[in-house]
Amino acid sequence: MSRPQITINRHGQDRIEQGHPWVFKSDITHVQNTSTGAIVDITTPKGRFLGRGYFNPASQITVRLLTRRKEEVDRDFFRTRLCKAIARRNPAAPSTRLVFGEADFLPGLIIDRYGDAIVLQTLTLGMDRLKETWIELIEEQLHPKAIIERNDVAVREKEGLLLQKGILKGNLPDNLVVNQNGYSFRVDPLEGQKTGLYLDQEENHLAANRYARGRVLDLFCYQGGFSIHSASQADEIIAVDSSESSLKILGENLALNQIQNVHTLGANVFDYLRSCQNQGEPFDMILLDPPPFVSSRKAIQSATRGYKEINLRAMKLLKPGGILVTCSCSQNFTQDMFYEMLLSASKDTYREIQLLEKRGAASDHPVLFSFPESAYLQCWIVRVI
């Protein structure tokens, strides 16, 4: 029997040849000898080989490219990819993303390290079928005390996979604490958001420290990444989040770092900002790091309204010359949209704004040029005149 093979149309061929690793269902014209999860050859209508990837007919992204060469896709192949991704990271970083999916040439795979614990996400069927291989390769290469699975991520449903989480190997230390830039952070890889920490914001936490002064407002604070990094420069920080469990860990982090000038508040940020209108002293710096508002392309309009509301209200609460650190982690909310939203908010508040820094995710979440989807996080630092 010949190798499993799919043929794609010109449109799909163009995308693959430009370096993108996805084949959409609508671009497939012919399927031969394939089965769910199989490694398939991708070919042009004339039969020219384009690459090899894994196949999931249940997903709109039906094939994800693994290699452009005629090489075996086996355990050695994945070991080499893993070792190369690890080698691109800072070996001394106690908490870091070791594998960032497509951007590390391992589509659908996330591996995060928190000290001796490793968190694994297999977000696609192709990667999920390889879970045992990944557990073995992680043990062989990283020797962790625990491997945790955080496969409770909604994107798995698009692949026909169940949502699940748990300990796959070893024992999770009761009080896992990691050091980031000299600060201690409690991490709960099982119950925390994402895989425990927002590792993608780590370098932006440090950047905020450079601008912090006076009265600071940290909105959508989670466990205090921004607050803890800014506390030494500020007189007072108010940190707001709607998640009580996150604020509890933030309290533990404050104690661990002997910080006394951060006050936590459990509230919905939209309500809190409305309640701040026309009352209280203005702020010197406001941090805005909301959850993704845009889940699909269709939701862009309502998301823009949400972003504009919080940015506009934050601008009103800043002293002249105050600093706004404003983020979006919505995949479909482009830089142009962010720019227009901020411009519109500044016009409505009669405040001029100056861009100081336009930042992205930390460098352990590299943006692969041929995979623009990897550039999901924006962090703009602006001065509000």
The amino acid at 46: K
Judged by beta carbon, residue 159 or residue 200, the one nearer ligand SAH is: 200
The amino acid at 271: D
Distance, in Å, from the CA atom of 61 to the CA atom of 319, rounded to the nearest integer, reads 48
Distance, in Å, from the CA atom of 224 to the CA atom of 22, rounded to the nearest integer, reads 36
How many residues bind ligand SAH, per CB under 6 A? 17
Residue 289 sits in the site that holds ligand SAH (CB under 6 A): yes
User: What's the CA angle centered on 349, arms 288 and 287, to 5 degrees?
Assistant: 10
Residue 201 Cβ vs ligand SAH, minimum distance, rounded to whole Å: 4
Judged by beta carbon, residue 272 or residue 371, the one nearer ligand SAH is: 272
Residue 266 sits in the site that holds ligand SAH (CB under 6 A): no
Q: Confirm whether 329 is a catalytic residue.
A: yes
Residue 246 sits in the site that holds ligand SAH (CB under 6 A): yes
Residue 96 Cβ vs ligand SAH, minimum distance, rounded to whole Å: 15
Residue 378 sits in the site that holds ligand SAH (CB under 6 A): no
Distance, in Å, from the CA atom of 54 to the CA atom of 43, rounded to the nearest integer, reads 14
Residue 322 Cβ vs ligand SAH, minimum distance, rounded to whole Å: 19
Binding to ligand SAH by CB under 6 A, coded x per residue (else -) over 212-241, reads --------xxx--xx--------------x
Residue 384 sits in the site that holds ligand SAH (CB under 6 A): no
Residue closest to ligand SAH, measured at CB = 225
Task: Enumerate residues 6+ apart whose C-beta is below 8 A from 36.
Answer: 55, 56, 57, 58, 125
Nearest to 360 by CA among 192, 213, 207, 194: 207
Position among 242, 261, 331, 344 found at the interface with ligand SAH (CB under 6 A): 242
Judged by beta carbon, residue 106 or residue 361, the one nearer ligand SAH is: 361
β-bridge pairing 39-43 and 5-8: parallel
Give backbone dihedrals phi and psi of 297, rounded to 5 degrees, phi first.
-60, -35
Q: Classify burial at 345, counting beta carbons within 10 Å of its beta carbon; exposed 0-12, middle 13-18, buried 19 or more.
A: buried
Task: Enumerate residues 6+ apart whose C-beta is below 8 A from 31.
Answer: 5, 6, 7, 57
Residue 203 Cβ vs ligand SAH, minimum distance, rounded to whole Å: 11
Would you put residue 242 in left (φ > 0), alpha (ψ -120 to 50) or beta? alpha
Helix (H, G, I), strand (E, B) or coil at 219: strand
Catalytic residue among 83, 276, 327, 329: 329
Position among 29, 33, 232, 268 found at the interface with ligand SAH (CB under 6 A): 268
Position among 62, 201, 209, 374 found at the interface with ligand SAH (CB under 6 A): 201
> What is the contact surface with ligand SAH in residues (CB under 6 A)?
193, 198, 201, 220-222, 225-226, 241-243, 246, 268-270, 289, 291
Q: Active-site positions?
A: 329
